[in-house]
Amino acid sequence: MVLTACDVAFKEWAVTIRAFDRGDQILLLRKGGIHEDGKDFRVLYPEFLMYPTFEHQKSELVKEEYHGELRQVISEAEGDGSITFGHWARVEEAIEASDQAAVDRLEPYHIWTADYAQKRLHWKPRHPLAILLVRLYRLEEPYTVPFSSSFGGCKSWVELSEPVRLGEVTPVMNDDEFHARVREVKAALDS
């Protein structure tokens, strides 16, 4: 069955979504937001819209080569209180990590600073870090919805009141590129 619409979104920094769109990144790191149910992260939905957020993204949290992109993303932030969805994603695999060395070996595969990745690992030290290997697709047409107070807060998942029509989605990477990147990331974790 082919999914034609989606009514759930995953909140992630807009600059990170751009890195995914260019094929620079296929992984997400999560421990859980302050307002997560149970205070820890779980993959509640394996398929979702990517919800671009602008809170908390700062230049000291992304590698220097992404500072210009971050400035651009911040300057383009919508001031009218609406959210524009341009991507749909699927979690291909979720891996848990508690080892500092494994997280350090992921450094070439994401845009965040090593310090930021380490802080993600060490926050809530009794819980492992969730590493999500995610396949990103562009929507046929971007779709804008008004902001709702239910979207706010430090949480990963947002349920939308109306489904967003996906149209014909296009992967940002072809199958061979994506699977090769998955193998690289998994090999780095296993080293």
Tokens read off for 42:
């779980």
Among residues 162, 146, 181, the alpha carbon closest in space to that of 19 is found at 181
Cβ of 33: how many Cβ atoms within 10 Å? 16
Which residue matches tokens 């890195």? 19
The answer to whether 130 and 41 are in contact (CB under 8 A) is: yes
pLDDT 10s digits, 63-106: 999 999 999 888 877 666 788 999 999 999 999 998 999 999 99
The ranges of the chain with pLDDT < 50 are 1, 34-36
B/e letters for 72-99, b = 16+ CB within 10 Å, e = fewer, are: ebeeeeeeeeebebbbbbbbeebbebee
Task: State pTM to two decimals.
Answer: 0.90
Tokens read off for 116:
């930021």
